[in-house]
Amino acid sequence: NAGVMQNPRHLVRRRGQEARLRCSPMKGHSHVYWYRQLPEEGLKFMVYLQKENIIDESGMPKERFSAEFPKEGPSILRIQQVVRGDSAAYFCASSPPGDTYEQYFGPGTRLTVT
Amino acid sequence: GEDVEQSLFLSVREGDSSVINCTYTDSSSTYLYWYKQEPGAGLQLLTYIFSNMDMKQDQRLTVLLNKKDKHLSLRIADTQTGDSAIYFCAETSDSNYQLIWGAGTKLIIKP
């Protein structure tokens, strides 16, 4: 059973460009969570999604950030018009149906904005 | 608001026990976790404990929870060089899905 997959592992964008981060949950998992880790800090919750539904996006910045988890395909975290402050590691986690407390993490995408 | 605190560094000799400590503020936390992050890698779920337990043991790992003092610890017996990593403590918020994280403790192993 493959773990949580994220790609790309590293992403470099210039200020003003768009960043698209992808996450494929573990097989059988229907819940996806995105977290952001700034350098030297712990992770901060961003959003919780189930298939075709955003359950809680209270941790997402109000502008430029969006997330989706379509019926088919990976979950996507999209950052429009990136700024230097968006440079961070973005982690995706997934959990089985009904077990939101047991979250398994992917390797992360390290976004660098130049 | 909710907060999780950890020391930033811990240095131990190879073969000794490591004890990584964590304090949290949310008395309604249901689950408390320890994750391990190796350089450039993702987060590995090491273990978690339900808040009505006070101890959990899994091979070399022992988790102790003092709910009264809101204190969580992770003991690693016979610490090896492969244990070098950053260890994160986390708790669930009221929602049971939103994990609140400490800043991580970097475990340094001396030969």
Q: Quote the pLDDT of residue A1.
A: 53
* Mean pLDDT, residues B74-82: 96
Q: What pLDDT shows up at residue A109? A: 96
The answer to whether the CB atoms of B92 and A101 lie below 8 A apart is yes
Residue A86, token pair as written in the block: 């968006």
- Best of B52, B97, B100, B105 to substitute, by most chain A Cβ atoms within 10 angstroms, is B97
Q: Which residue of A has its CA nearest to B4?
A: A42
Using an 8 Å Cβ cutoff, are A59 and A39 in contact?
no
Q: Which of left, alpha, beta for B17 (phi over 0: left; psi -120 to 50: alpha)?
A: beta
Distance (Å) from the alpha carbon of B21 to chain A's nearest alpha carbon: 15
How many CB pairs below 8 Å do chains A and B form together? 60
The position carrying tokens 């981060």 is A21
Q: Dump pLDDT digits (tens) for A52-62.
A: 999 999 999 99
